[in-house]
Amino acid sequence: MGNTVKTALLLGALTGLLMLVGGLIGGNGGVLIAFIFAVILNFGSYWFSDKIVLKMYKAQEVSESSAPDLHAIVRNLAMKASLPMPRVFIIPEETPNAFATGRNENHAVVAVTEGIMRILTREELEGVIAHELSHIKNKDMLISSIAATIAGAISMLATMAQWAAIFGGGRSSDEDNGGGGIIGLIAMAIFAPLAAAVIQMAISRSREYLADAGGANITKNPYGLASALEKLTKASQIIPMNAKPSTAHLFIVNPLSGKAFMNLFSTHPPLEERIARLRSMKPY
């Protein structure tokens, strides 16, 4: 419940930032224009996300006959989670990882890499699949799309502020406060997108904690997922994944974790913290 409330508060903060930035630049009209453009830009990503990301990683759909064990795990856990059976894909990638995508429960996809199926036990793989099904059940694709839309609108408004400063926007304000108008626009152009990105990443991290807890609830065994995360932590460092930053938030462990990203801008919480939380839970 705590992470659900946190997500709501963070989305509220992101919306508040949008209203503040829009009001300072162009009033309600500025907010509306930027928001409409952001919706248009993110609509395609939300609606066609599964096709885009699956093609990006050359994922291949597998049937029940070609991957019976994997299908059995997904089907069993989907039933426990009261979800429709998602489509199942395998990514030809040695780095162990997995993700779920799709715009809703009826158009969901669960994808795992070849590498993750080689190193995890059945219990651990069940923990990973349950985590991904929890993302689907929690409508995390929709929430991340909303956050991306609002953050995108803020970035557009910041760009407007930048051009306004370059071409003399805020000139009248300069006369009133001795140059504060242009300085304010420049500061907004720099810090507003930064603040939006920090909030957006915080939303993503809160959803990961929620999916961990939800996955543990589906399997009734938090230790399976904890053990899987421990293995994935080590393996992802040994076999780095050539992943796109725009899709990093989808994976169960950050495929970019081996690179120099500050925790503040990470799409995932620290793995040590996730594992500790799962280890502190009792089996159901």
CB atoms near residue 56 (< 10 Å)? 13
Contact 250, 99 (CB under 8 A): yes
Classify residue 134 as exposed, middle or buried by CB count within 10 Å of its CB (0-12, 13-18, 19+): buried
Contacts of 123 (CB under 8 A, 6+ apart): 221, 224, 227
In the annotation, is 132 catalytic? yes
Collapsing DSSP states into helix, strand and coil, what is residue 85? coil
How far apart, in Å, are the Cα atoms of 62 and each of 35, 216, 219? 39, 26, 23
Region of residue 5 (left: phi > 0; alpha: psi -120 to 50; beta: else): alpha
> Pick the catalytic residue: 94, 132, 175, 230?
132
The residues annotated as belonging to the active site are 132
